[in-house]
Amino acid sequence: MSKNMFKSGCLVRTAHVILTWITTLVLFLHNTDLGKCRERGDLLQPVVFISVVLLSVLLYFTVSLMDPGFVLSDSDTKGTLVESNEELEKMIPQDHSSLKQRRCGYCFKLQPMRARHCKMCKRCVRRFDHHCPWIDNCVGERNHKWFLLYLCVQFVAVSWGLQASWSGVVSAPTWQQWFAQNGFLLGAFAVTAVFSVVVLLLLCIHLYLASVNSTTWEFMSRQRILYLKHCDAEENPFDRGVFCNLWDFCCACGTVAWERIYIRHTDADK
């Protein structure tokens, strides 16, 4: 039973929520900036902080529970994507061997460009970025922008919590008394400090990847990906400029035929 719970992500998500609200409770029960505002009756900062924390939790569940862009089975795509796949095959020149759709060696589904099979989810994911153990879900074409938005909100929450926890640390005549008075705040400070560093690194990485229209998998495994092997080290066939990349990343809805963008790029280089 516990093994199934861990596989479903219940333990990971429960631990995340418990840690979030325990840290928030510590910040309000001690003599921090947030606690002082609450005692004075100035509720603006506490309400905004709670709203940011609540939004981060809601985004966390949104990203962790939504479909990241799983590749549909052949029968599910009948009447929708089959025609577009046939049209795409006619568009692909014979020398574009890297564009020929292949079947996944694990789930045997037709795998579109930029898709990859996730061994943890046991399914193929469109525009696969990575499998994140923090959310116990893949980051792919459908939830990547929500993952980035979650990182932004989470960074605001943890950096604010870091400042608030440090503001409540008080002095004491001895080290024993100092630790006794500040023990919970030091724990909250350590948690928010670690999460601040991790979230900031992830935020910077994914902002960069979004700006160049790349993924973590493509960036880390470039030499093993068929459609990127022939490209130069600095060349990205999907890069359309920072503004267009960010616009497509944030505003594009539905699936994207990356094969067509790839063909236009390679034809332009000839």
Active site residues: 132
**Is the Cβ–Cβ distance between 185 and 154 less than 8 Å?**
no
Query: Tokens 């840690």 sit at which residue?
Result: 19
Residue type, 162: L
Close Cβ partners of 159 (under 8 Å, ≥ 6 residues apart): 192, 196
**Is the Cβ–Cβ distance between 28 and 160 less than 8 Å?**
no
Close Cβ partners of 11 (under 8 Å, ≥ 6 residues apart): 5
Q: Phi and psi for 25 in degrees, rounded to 5?
A: -65, -40
CA 81 to each of CA 71, 84, 142, 220, 259: distance values in angstroms, whole numbers, following the listed order: 11, 5, 17, 30, 14
State the CB neighbour count (10 A cutoff) for residue 218: 22
Q: Please state, in angstroms and rounded to a whole number, the distance separating the CA atoms of residues 85 and 77.
A: 10
Pairing mode, if any, of strands 110-111 and 123-125?
Answer: unpaired
Q: Please state, in angstroms and rounded to a whole number, the distance separating the CA atoms of residues 212 and 208.
A: 6
**Is the Cβ–Cβ distance between 107 and 256 less than 8 Å?**
no
